[in-house]
Amino acid sequence: MDWLEVSVATTAEAHEAVAERLMALGARGVVFGEADGAVVVTAYLPEEAEGRLEALAEEVRSLRSFGLDPGPGTVTVRRAREDDWAEAWKRYYRPVPVSERLIIVPAWEDPPEDGRIVIRLEPGMAFGTGTHPSTILALRAIEATLRPGEAAIDVGTGTGILAIAMAKLGAASVRAIDVDPVAVAVAEENVRRNGVADRVTVRAGDLVAGETGPFDLLGANILPDVHERLVPEAVPRLRSGGRIVLSGIIEAEAERMARLLFAHGLIELKRLSADGWTALWAVRP
């Protein structure tokens, strides 16, 4: 199957709006990068979306009418076969040290023998390889707050990376949820690959719909606008003393997310930042 690799050059203030428009076209996820001073939002779209790319470019330009500076607003397209896409990852995806305890290793490489907990990943057509600062921050926050034996949930699991880390750090049970069935399939395979299928359950779903909890820890590395939907749904599913880790947040949005947590009765415990990105975690009293 052929895919369209679509990249939009924009600004930090408009990147979420651009990501939402790519998702509306059928993207299974987005990745953020930087080039020539612009934020580059990249997604893989099905071929049938090609006829809607001119409209996408117009929608990006029209963000000015919503008070957002779209920046360059340029849309570039490259065709990619699914197997070519997977092989492209292997050319530059290398082990990613997360902390003194955690390291992410591609499935096709041998892990270093340094005593760290190894998370082995094959990204397939899902997102969440561990190379992005938002993923690393989420993993560090989870490592800092998770206690052995707890019940955890990973919302927007992608490749399953956060859920796998939760299990390997000692969670007794983990729910891994994603709205995209392709991500669910990739996450299930990565869960088996890491030997944690006895503790991690992966399923398709919209945020925490259908989940009753109660959970000791919820982790989500997703867009801030999705956090706004998630937090009010998540709080009733947390135990008293349960924590929530939010990542995927640019530093400019951190205060807005902190206010969101406070508005729903959560007490912020800490935040981590790196390369313009922030992760926050908070507790339900």
**Tokens, residue 277:** 């990105």
How does DSSP classify residue 149?
Answer: T
**Tokens, residue 94:** 């290398």
CA 136 to CA 128: how far, in whole Å?
10
Least Cα distance to 156 among 133, 134, 171, 131 occurs for: 134
User: Residue 115: helix, strand or coil by DSSP?
Assistant: coil
CA 170 to CA 136: how far, in whole Å?
18
Return binding residues: 135, 156, 178, 221
Return binding residues for S-adenosyl-L-methionine: 135, 156, 178, 221
Question: What b-and-e string marks burial along 1-36, b requiring 16 or more CB atoms within 10 Å of the CB?
Answer: eebbbbbbbbbbbbbbbbbbbbbebebbbbbbeeee
Residues 6 or more apart from 178 whose CB is under 8 A from it? 126, 156, 157, 158, 184, 187, 202, 204, 205
